[in-house]
Amino acid sequence: MNAAARLVLSARKYEHVILLLRDLHWLLVPKRIEFKLAVLVFRCLHGTAPAHLADELRRVTDSDSRRQLRSASTSALVVPPTRRMTIGDRAFPVAGAHVWNALPSFVTDSATVATFKRHLKTYLFARSLS
């Protein structure tokens, strides 16, 4: 990705790549992974993703024991417990719930995928490169 940014902007080999990525409005790789994961979670919650993925996610409001919590009034997801940090935390239900719960409400309350992507990229870009 860094080499592509240098190629697109005709930059020299030793120019700082963060500035180039900011000019291109590209996300860094970890934030890009969060972006793709959050979009997949959004599609699961709105019924446009495969059913086997959507069945893995559960809202806090769907759980009887958590209905009285403050988080029940938000669009928060239940983070399933895991045994192993290295393998279990990388599973889609766990990683997706972590990313989704970390997003602000103006991002998660978007009505369409296009609006969600726009708000999400702006939010992640502001968090990572600014």
The per-residue pLDDT for range 75-110, each reduced to its tens digit, is 788 888 888 777 778 888 999 999 999 999 999 999
Supply the pTM of this predicted model.
0.83
Residue 9 lies in a domain: no
Tally of domains in the chain:
1
Residue 46 lies in a domain: yes
The per-residue pLDDT for range 45-57, each reduced to its tens digit, is 998 999 998 888 8
Residue 16 lies in a domain: no
Please determine, for residue 73, whether its predicted confidence score (pLDDT) is greater than 80.
no
Choose among 58, 48, 25: nearest CA to 114: 48
Contacts of 39 (CB under 8 A, 6+ apart): 113, 116, 117, 120
Choose among 27, 35, 30, 12: nearest CA to 3: 12
Residue 123 domain boundaries: 27-128
Tokens of 16: 């700082």
Which one is predicted more confidently, 67 or 125?
125
Residue 22 lies in a domain: no
Residue 62 lies in a domain: yes
How confident is the model at residue 67, as a pLDDT?
57
